[in-house]
Amino acid sequence: MNKPTNLYDLNYDELTNLLHNLGEPSFRARQVWNWLYRHLAGSVDEMTNLPQSLREKLAGQTTLGTAVIASQQFSSDDQTKKLLFRLPDGQYIETVLMRYEKRRTLCISTQAGCAMGCVFCATGQMGFFRNLSVGEIVAQVIHFARELAQTGEHVTNIVMMGMGEPLHNYEATLTAVDRLTDNEGFNLGARKITISTVGLVPAMRRYADEQRQTPLAVSLHAATDEERDKLIPINRKWPIAELMAACHYYIEKTGRRLTFEWALINGENDTIEQAQKLGQLVQGMLCHVNLIPLNPTQGYGGAPSSRERVEAFQAELARYGVSSTVRVRRGIDIQAGCGQLRDRTVDSG
């Protein structure tokens, strides 16, 4: 028996071809596309302007997403919700919804596990299993969009900062971005989606060449190779000089501001000396630094910086003319913060 086709894996032309093979006219593709991405249908049965015969065919041969919810958790302030999805092959991914005053932000995954091995990241600690398909990435967004629509809300922002390195799964990640920003479909503004990378230099340069409007965030976390090697193994392949050259190339090609992510680890990379080295490294660049007090993980003994150390670090950056903000931490009590996502079944089994 053939495996059902995940409709979220299909682009518009592929959907048109599928319907053609079912003996349907081409205009049916637009109807189905609208149900998938505008009306956020939860099943083929909801596609009420399709003939019953076509709905039966689609129900027998296709599916709207392939993941099922294995568990869900809510933060104590009820502003953050985390879902653990089980995929058909037994892999698991986590996805997070964060509510802010005016924003509804999703943190979505692009891989099951991660091959980058960053020592303070729970996903990196679990290792790499596989890339997600376009449909598996998109379906995370559609699930929460459907849920938010029930209360008159909608997804306002997406950060590709969940499980995995997005640029390691380049084709599927960027195709998913194209799908989500399609003005004939889900129609989220490209600048509302941020892609995070730990520093895959060739992929960063390709991303710059493609002149994409989606913002890029670089997980830097250290300003010298000696320190970054300890935290981020990929730095040994593309050290800071190469990474920064790619960052300058990105800014030059796109004219867009780059964000640097910096997880502040108490007594490690939160010193005045480290702030000075970072200030010297990025001074004069079109950039912003996002400071994130470390979120604890089971596999790493480092602790988050105190408020006093964070403020001192930020003040030192300002002396170099470097703008920065301290990220509001959300969902730490349910391990939904930056660097905390992983396959929770590993912990229990």
Given 46, 56, 94, 121, the catalytic residue: 94
Backbone angles phi, psi at 287, to 5 degrees: -150, 170
Asked about 316 being catalytic, the answer comes back as no
7, 135 in Cβ contact below 8 A? yes
Question: In 109-183, which residue ranges form alpha helices assigned H by DSSP?
Answer: 122-126, 134-149, 170-181
Q: In what order do the strands lie in the sheet with 324-326?
A: 68-74, 80-86, 92-99, 104-107, 157-160, 193-197, 216-219, 258-264, 287-293, 324-326
Q: Taking Cα atoms as reference points, which of 349, 341, 296, 293 lies closest to residue 82?
A: 341
64, 77 in Cβ contact below 8 A? no
Q: Taking Cα atoms as reference points, which of 273, 281, 266 lies closest to residue 218?
A: 281
Backbone angles phi, psi at 253, to 5 degrees: -75, -35
What whole-number distance in Å separates Cα of residue 262 and Cα of residue 227? 13
Given 118, 121, 287, 338, the catalytic residue: 338
Place of tokens 């490690």: 268
The token pair that represents 335 in the structure block: 């391990």
Backbone angles phi, psi at 10, to 5 degrees: -95, 135
> E-strand spans in 166-316?
193-197, 216-219, 258-264, 287-293
The token pair that represents 346 in the structure block: 């590993």
Asked about 94 being catalytic, the answer comes back as yes
Active-site residues, by number, are 94, 338
